[in-house]
Structure 1
């Protein structure tokens, strides 16, 4: 019998009941079919219980810093905010302490960050050329990195910006040349004539924004235009993000939206990490995607995105401090999970329908409703099996190097969602 016929019979039965009961008050609402017993699903070694049922989050400055970086990432520009041609993500970098600055700026800037008591930061790279994992993009590509760091107050941020510029300029002071930006005259910028790169830094309240840009040819007009586009996109985003004190950072909650408790967590850990246990809005989520333009369109229904063992929070290059170090793609771990909360059930169904465009129906997890799996092409030495499940207004996305493991993860994610209501 079809689902529509069943619903029709339910309505007839309900109407008959009202007639027979006479004076009894009628019950409103449409009857709903019962859900499956998730205890019957093959979830392998994975837990189907929400995180807060077996672990308690412990506040610490280290944990709070990770949460603050994820919060900041929601307000950091990607390439598509700067210029539509910069649609590809080329790397991210978390900055948890002053020493991490050497991964996005010259190593000589570490004392500057320490002296001015930098709290945390986040960097994201973009390009007009789609990167291949661990393979540098070609020289004719345009590359940008945007780094945002928060300081205790506007005075320390302004001082740090000035010192960052002086340190970078002095690396080759006999070859570098100051550059004045027409739209942002307070920004500090320089380039090396004949070289297709430019560096610039500006303070904005408690924040410092640093950008490094590389293009195919040494055209100063093009370089300065891109820098101005970076600031036009980035600075307004920071106006909507209240800076945090060290105490406020310490007190940040792990899961204020109740999404992390619902994401598959094989290690049963309540330790936040920007790539492994974190939540994001769509803007923050896009930093981790390779084709950000396509991802923005695909994942538009998503309101919150939870990671569990998903991505590496650092670039996969040993070249430090320049845009090219963000030119080798974004690392996704060999197994992990992403949980997406959408605005309603219809949005979740639409997202689930498109999240895997070529699933193999024979590979779906046994007995799991609204589930599908596929093998993705990969250049790795192992296979890449992914599964997607939907439960109400949530869509779970899990992956592993073995099909059965992926199926068990998908079943566990579905059961976890059912148990988390």
Structure 2
């Protein structure tokens, strides 16, 4: 604890973190306790649990959490731990059940978590008060967040709802379905995975598939040194945005940039896809011929949204790509990506799975290699923290500043 306090208090904004932040088991445990168990964690969408009895299980450190839709259509979350002797109830990651039944001694819970049957417990035992332990869960226009703190800060999530719901609600996540889900276990500390996502300094050299549609100068990298050339590019971006703005306003789409502030740990930015693209595909054409609800034709906007430490999302006119990270250990991180389309879209008719997923499958694997190489290099005796680029890594700096602030609350 003393070593953690020293390193946290000595940290200088603008520099990289010392190796211990990424490689130490003690730091990892501190991260889990003061970041992942005290803040709102993105865990999926309402499309994960579309029907009554649909459930998903997510793992956060030592905690297995059930996300489930109950009989009244509400999405709830519970610790995946029977109130009898603690056995896990859901032993698969997803499914549909009429009731939650512990396979050990057949205790039965309703979908709202209440215990409704416990055999051979005697006349003095009451099911009342022995329901599953709830976990705080909130929906931001269909994006689901949980909080494992004993007393969660609802002010944080309410502000987030007020800020982000106008953007996300346009895409009507309750009318979408998940058609592909891929897990990657990256051999890198979770902060390196997030830092890599927070900058595009690396994109020109590493993401040829993504750059077929991703704005090369809107992401803060590769800006020309020549002032006249830079000004021409900036004007092109501004003109394109102004042209699109009346169309988005007519559709009722919230699109003005929502940037970071001292009390925001999330960001939303409407990007204009490059090279005439209307979707993040290899040829820039729609990945799904059935537009999302709210769109009547392809649109070249991409709502890029992320939360500081655990998720990033791309909302387009034809599909949504949503990704979250959860630490496994100090040197392993789960990266889970899902692709969503209109709930009525049919594979082979409205979309081709390879075309839908190829860009981000390639990009995620490229990012995995970068993060793993980064982690391996940091373990070297020769590593010492370098300085971030204010031009291209300002969002990394912002994330690290927020992260240090979280750790200080636990010292």
TM-score, normalised with respect to structure 2: 0.27
Which structure is larger by alpha-carbon Rg, 1 or 2? 1
